[in-house]
């Protein structure tokens, strides 16, 4: 008799690893008050250098998006080439330790006075973003490929955990913002929370191979963490080996059959995140309350953290959770790409909300606070639901021996959408 997942141990581990896979990105973009504080001293300067740094401050989210996504595409290519040559344990643990090291540096810099070298601090921050995002990409694509070899519920746990990571970072930011007496104390507690959680991810990953549930069959890409059989094979006789997991290959996985099987799903995944990254956080976090002049805490201090970061991430998590019960449309349905393309309408909706500062498009059509709240909720919900459907479908429509490689390819489509979208976000922000 095959072992069951006692106390949902494997499910919980994949959920926690999902949180950790996007935690660095979420902690970077959610700490907007801290980055604005670190870059504020030069925004009042009148010389060209001061104006340049002011521009860095105004378009900080767009620069962060580019720095985190473009290098990640290259890392995904490397991860695909190494998927059968370097064990998943090596790739996952090395990327986690690298993320931890860089985040410790960021935590230390919180209390360092950078007012005399703001531009250099910005450059150092961008370098940290590049390194952390590259490591995070290797980690997330590797753990996604690994989860593809487990039953689908573990894959859904991983994807749901990714959205919960954004919600946790937004909640942590709000708590620190409300409780800490100043920005630096808030940021110190905030980034220290990220350090602790990365350590937790390392610990739970090391626990995974010790579970009886995950120790029955040997996965060639993971020397110490073999996956259970997929749900489709649960009817196999007990003594029948799963040869797709036992047949070890050290070469590069065949790319053509994976691309042929996942082409439409890949486009859908690309476009879902292309639209999302253009809007969030570059556009959505700069939408101000129409009653900001009142000076209330809601309209000044908490409007963007609540209506942009927390609401989007929570809605994204809800969308991903829904896929555990509802999985329509199917992977071959024409309705799926139609729904994905329909999300383009979010662009004019956010542009015509109270985005500030505006340089070219002066018209604000949606001049009530409720509008960006509804738009953000729908953006996050559709991103979570449609993105998760496509991610889950991808590795399941290829032969099982290609499931892990297909997981890496699907992550490549996702990161390509983020990279292209983040580049376009700067153009959109400048046009507004």
Alpha helices in 358-402 (DSSP H): 370-396
Tell whether 1 is covered by a domain.
no
Q: Mean pLDDT per 10-residue run, the chain (432 residues)?
A: 75 92 83 86 46 68 84 84 84 95 94 90 93 91 81 83 87 83 86 93 92 61 42 39 42 85 96 96 92 86 91 94 90 96 97 90 93 98 95 88 84 89 90 88
Q: Is 339 helix (H, G, I), strand (E, B) or coil?
A: helix
- Per-residue H/E/C for 64-123: HHHHHHHHHHHHHHHHHHHCCCCCHHHHHHHHHHHHHHHHHHHHHHCCCCCCCCHHHHHH
pLDDT of residue 240: 38
Model pTM?
0.79
pLDDT of residue 239: 38
Cβ atoms of 199 and 53 closer than 8 Å: no
Tell whether 298 is covered by a domain.
yes
Tell whether 49 is covered by a domain.
yes
Model pLDDT for residues 137-174, shown as the tens digit of each residue = 889 888 887 887 788 788 888 888 888 888 988 898 88
Tell whether 183 is covered by a domain.
yes
Measuring CA to CA, how many Å separate 278 from each of 314, 341, 427? 19, 14, 9
Q: CATH no. for residue 387?
A: 1.20.1250.20
pLDDT of residue 50: 46
**Spatial separation of the C-alpha atoms in residues 212 and 193, rounded to whole Å:** 31
Tell whether 148 is covered by a domain.
yes
pLDDT of residue 246: 33
Tell whether 424 is covered by a domain.
yes
**Spatial separation of the C-alpha atoms in residues 373 and 375, rounded to whole Å:** 6
Cβ atoms of 127 and 170 closer than 8 Å: no
Dig out the tokens for 191 from the structure.
């980034």
DSSP E strand stretches across 196-330: none
pLDDT of residue 375: 98
Overall number of domains in the chain = 1
List the domain range (segments joined by +) for residue 73. Answer: 6-431
pLDDT of residue 328: 93
pLDDT of residue 41: 60
Tell whether 137 is covered by a domain.
yes
Helices (H), strands (E): how many in the chain? 17, 0
pLDDT of residue 258: 92
Tell whether 245 is covered by a domain.
yes
**Which phi and psi (to 5°) does residue 290 adopt?**
-70, -15
Dig out the tokens for 289 from the structure.
């309350």
Model pLDDT for residues 184-233, shown as the tens digit of each residue = 888 898 899 999 999 999 999 999 888 877 765 345 444 444 434 333 44
pLDDT of residue 150: 80
């Amino acid at each position: 008799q095959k072992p069951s997942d006692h106390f949902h141990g494997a499910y919980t581990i994949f959920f926690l690893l999902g949180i950790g896979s996007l935690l660095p990105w979420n902690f970077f973009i959610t700490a907007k008050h801290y980055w604005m504080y670190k870059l504020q001293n030069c925004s009042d300067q009148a010389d060209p250098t001061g104006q340049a740094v002011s521009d860095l401050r105004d378009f900080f989210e767009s620069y962060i998006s580019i720095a985190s996504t473009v290098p990640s595409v290259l890392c995904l290519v490397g991860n695909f080439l190494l998927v059968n040559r370097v064990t998943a344990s090596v790739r996952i643990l090395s990327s986690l330790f690298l993320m931890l090291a860089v985040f410790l540096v960021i935590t230390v810099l919180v209390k360092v006075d950078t007012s005399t070298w703001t531009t250099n601090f910005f450059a150092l921050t961008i370098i940290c973003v590049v390194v952390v995002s590259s490591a995070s990409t290797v980690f997330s694509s590797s753990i996604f490929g690994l989860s593809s070899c487990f039953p689908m519920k573990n894959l859904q746990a991983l994807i749901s955990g990714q959205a919960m990571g954004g919600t946790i970072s937004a909640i942590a930011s709000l708590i620190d913002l409300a409780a800490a007496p100043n920005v630096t104390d808030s940021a110190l507690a905030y980034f220290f929370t990220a350090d602790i959680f990365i350590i937790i991810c390392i610990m739970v990953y090391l626990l995974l191979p010790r579970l009886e549930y995950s120790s029955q069959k040997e996965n060639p890409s993971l020397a110490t963490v073999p996956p259970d059989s997929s749900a489709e094979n649960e009817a196999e006789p007990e003594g029948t080996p799963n040869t797709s997991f036992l047949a070890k290959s050290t070469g590069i996985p065949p790319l053509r059959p994976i691309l042929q099987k996942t082409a439409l799903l890949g486009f859908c995944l690309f476009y879902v995140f292309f639209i999302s990254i253009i809007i969030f956080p570059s556009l959505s976090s700069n939408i101000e309350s129409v009653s900001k002049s009142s000076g209330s805490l809601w309209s000044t201090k908490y409007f963007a953290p609540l209506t942009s970061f927390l609401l989007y991430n929570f809605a994204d998590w809800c969308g991903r959770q829904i896929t555990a019960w509802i999985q329509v449309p199917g992977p071959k349905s024409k309705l799926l790409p139609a729904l994905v393309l329909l999300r383009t309408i979010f662009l004019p909706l956010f542009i015509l909300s109270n985005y500030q500062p505006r340089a070219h498009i002066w018209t604000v059509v949606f001049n009530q606070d409720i509008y960006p709240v509804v738009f953000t909720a729908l953006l996050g919900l559709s991103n979570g639901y449609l993105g998760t459907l496509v991610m889950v479908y991808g590795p399941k429509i290829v032969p099982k021996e290609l499931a892990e490689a297909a997981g890496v390819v699907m992550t490549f489509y996702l990161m390509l959408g983020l990279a292209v979208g983040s580049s376009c976000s700067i153009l959109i922000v400048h046009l507004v």
